[in-house]
Amino acid sequence: MARHQKADENVLRILQSSAALFAERGFLGTSVNELVEAAGLTKNAFYSYFPNKEALAVAIVEHTAAHWPPLIAQFEALKAPALDTVIALSFEVADKYSTDVVVRAGIRLSLERDSIKTPVPPPFDGWVEEIERLLSPAGEWELMGLSAPADVAARVIVTCLIGAQQLASNGEADMSKRLSEVWTVILPGLRPTPDLAARIATGQMLRERARAQAAATAPTTMWRTLDIS
């Protein structure tokens, strides 16, 4: 095995094992000794990748943040109505939060950034701007007609997404239920919506379409295939 491949696998191992601890206990509730033990490496080996707990926390947050730009681009490329795109994105993010421990840890660490000496961006950094862009007049192919300004709508949506994640118990089903409640409340304030359930279902179907398309076209990567126990 090439040396750089082994190093990459060790980094992934540390990120995965550390994320499980951070997601459950938080930054202050997790010790360096516990992180080293969970990774199954010596302290020297561990420190050769991450010099301290703060650096590891930042790496997990950055790994989480790296998910979002390609995800947004993937959904935007489907050219669905912007509001449906935002609804679909919210359910996809909720799924990643429920099923990907590194994403879950990254969001928790972002929320706990005041406890981390190294600067850490807030959760969903840049999402307000991205959703505002999506909800702004999208050109000739779509006229939004929002009841609220796009920047206000974007802030409310991101705030509700963070809140839904904090209130939901672990599991995609409960997270989906919380999001459906959120959209049921805020959709009428964004645009007159006669059938709220149908609009939410349309967003969820768009999400399934995007996932099927991604599964059919995306190459297998080490991130997907590496089994870290």
**Between 173 and 123, where is the model more confident?**
123
DSSP the chain: --HHHHHHHHHHHHHHHHHHHHHHH-STT--HHHHHHHHTS-HHHHHHH-SSHHHHHHHHHHHHHTTHHHHHHHHHTT---HHHHHHHHHHHHHHHHHH-HHHHHHHHHHHTGGG-SS--PPTTTTHHHHHHHHHS---TT-----SS-HHHHHHHHHHHHHHHHHHSPSSHHHHHHHHHHHHHHHHHHHS--S-HHHHHHHHHHHHHHHHHHHHHHPPP-HHHH----
Percent pLDDT > 90 in the chain is 49
Predicted confidence (pLDDT) at residue 112 exceeds the cutoff of 70:
yes
Max Cα–Cα distance, the chain, nearest Å: 61
Pick the CATH number of 63-220 from 3.90.1200.10, 3.30.565.10, 1.10.357.10, 3.40.980.10: 1.10.357.10
**Between 173 and 211, where is the model more confident?**
211
pLDDT of residue 8: 78
Predicted confidence (pLDDT) at residue 22 exceeds the cutoff of 90:
yes
Residues of the chain with CATH 1.10.357.10: 63-220
pLDDT of residue 228: 37
Residues of the chain with CATH 1.10.10.60: 7-60
pLDDT of residue 140: 45
Predicted confidence (pLDDT) at residue 226 exceeds the cutoff of 50:
no
Summarize pLDDT for 33-45 with one digit per residue, the tens: 999 999 998 999 9
Predicted confidence (pLDDT) at residue 225 exceeds the cutoff of 60:
no
Predicted confidence band at 171 (pLDDT cuts at 50, 70, 90)?
A: low
CATH placement of domain 7-60: 1.10.10.60
pLDDT of residue 89: 93
Q: What is the mean pLDDT of residues 67-90?
A: 91
Predicted confidence (pLDDT) at residue 172 exceeds the cutoff of 80:
no
Q: What is the mean pLDDT of the chain?
A: 85
